[in-house]
């Protein structure tokens, strides 16, 4: 399998003390770091995706802030590619698809933050770009959402997104299953 790892938005603002703390971000980051270590060990392509908010009403991932920085748990090496995005979809107005196609990549392993936003949007877009996708369930996380004054818990949001992606848009596995999957 000619696969690349895509680590999406594992950035300081999503962790304790950040401007938009998620549900158990450390647990997801530990698993993302395991996937990153495996891809480094196998010398497989990987891409760090960093969201920088440029909307005037943005409240997190602000340019030149500590919160916008990629979290230390998955810090890129100097030779690794970091692509900046300004929208939930990692393909929108970025060179990601071109870079992947130029490398002959046909399969993406995706993990990161937030399950209901950037992970979901990027996975669905990846299919439109002709990629097969695997999502690392335990290397993603999200937050509580509110709909019509009802709080939807982060685990429910996450599980709903994973269930909606499984089968049609992606194969959803755990980080522990990744090595066998490759």
Q: Write the CATH number for 131.
A: 3.40.50.850
Q: How many CB atoms lie within 10 A of CB 62?
A: 15
**pTM across the whole model:** 0.96
Please check the confidence at residue 168 and state whether its pLDDT lies above 80.
yes
Pairing state between β 81-85 and 107-113 = unpaired
| pLDDT for residue 86 | 97
> Which residue in 146, 134, 141 sits closest to 174, CA to CA?
134
State which residues form the domain around 14. Answer: 3-181
Give the CA count within 13 Å in the CB-facing half-sphere of 146.
Answer: 2
Please check the confidence at residue 1 and state whether its pLDDT lies above 90.
no
Please give the share of the chain, as a percent, with pLDDT higher than 90: 97
| pLDDT for residue 175 | 97
Query: Number of folded domains in the chain?
Result: 1
Please check the confidence at residue 57 and state whether its pLDDT lies above 80.
yes
């Amino acid at each position: 399998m000619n696969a690349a790892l895509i680590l999406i938005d594992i950035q300081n603002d999503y962790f304790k003390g950040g401007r938009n703390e998620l549900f158990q971000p450390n647990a997801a980051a530990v698993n993302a770091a395991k996937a990153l270590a495996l891809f480094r060990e196998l010398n497989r392509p990987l891409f760090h995706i960093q969201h920088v908010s440029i909307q005037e009403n943005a409240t997190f991932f602000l340019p030149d802030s500590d919160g916008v920085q990629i979290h230390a748990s998955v810090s890129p090496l100097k030779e690794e590619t970091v692509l900046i995005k300004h929208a939930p979809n990692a393909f929108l107005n970025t060179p990601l698809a071109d870079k992947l196609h130029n490398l002959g990549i046909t399969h993406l392993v995706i993990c990161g933050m937030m399950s209901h936003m950037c992970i979901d949007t990027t996975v669905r877009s990846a299919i439109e770009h002709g990629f097969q996708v695997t999502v690392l369930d335990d290397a993603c996380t999200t937050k509580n959402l509110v709909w019509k004054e009802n709080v939807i818990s982060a685990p429910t949001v996450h599980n709903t997104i994973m269930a909606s992606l499984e089968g049609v848009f992606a194969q959803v596995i755990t980080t522990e299953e990744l090595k066998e999957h490759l």
